[in-house]
Amino acid sequence: MGSLAAIPFWYLMTFLPWQLYSLVVMLGIYIGVYLCHQTAKDMGVHDHGSIVWDEFIGMWITLMALPTNDWQWVAAGFVIFRILDMWKPWPIRWFDRNVHGGMGIMIDDIVAGVISAGILYFIGHHWPLGILS
């Protein structure tokens, strides 16, 4: 499960300034489109379960929104991202079905990450204090 494997790398990235963290994510997306396209092409299967780079990027986007790096927030981000990634509600499902190639493999996880980050941001800034602390 790429989402879980992404967490130790995310933790290391938390020591970077947010601008550099954002740059790493953007470069990860750019490189990931190529890598996912090539891997799917070589395997002859679109978005095979062993292609997990897209989940790394989705988790890194999700975890950008954490108000703190406490394990409860990381766990909440993981659960929210996994639910959205598996369930694929609109608009995630639309991107999953309508965008193809390497970007098609990446985009549903990018959108799931953005939505997950929005949910975490809302919980962290507008929910009663101490909900996850």
Q: What is the pLDDT of residues 48-80, one digit of tens each?
A: 778 899 999 999 999 998 888 889 999 999 999
pLDDT, position 67: 81
Selection from 91, 121, 114, 5 nearest residue 55 by Cα: 5
Averaged pLDDT for residues 17-32: 97
pLDDT, position 129: 55
CA dist 112 and 88 (Å) reads 8
pLDDT, position 8: 97
CA dist 68 and 80 (Å) reads 16
In this prediction, residue 133 has a pLDDT band, given cuts at 50, 70 and 90, of low
Rg (CA), the chain: 15
Provide the angle, in degrees to the nearest 10, between the axes of the packed helices 53-63 and 18-43: 160
For every residue of 52-102, DSSP letters joined together read: -HHHHHHHHHHHTT-SS--HHHHHHHHHHHHHHHHH--TTHHHHHHH--HH
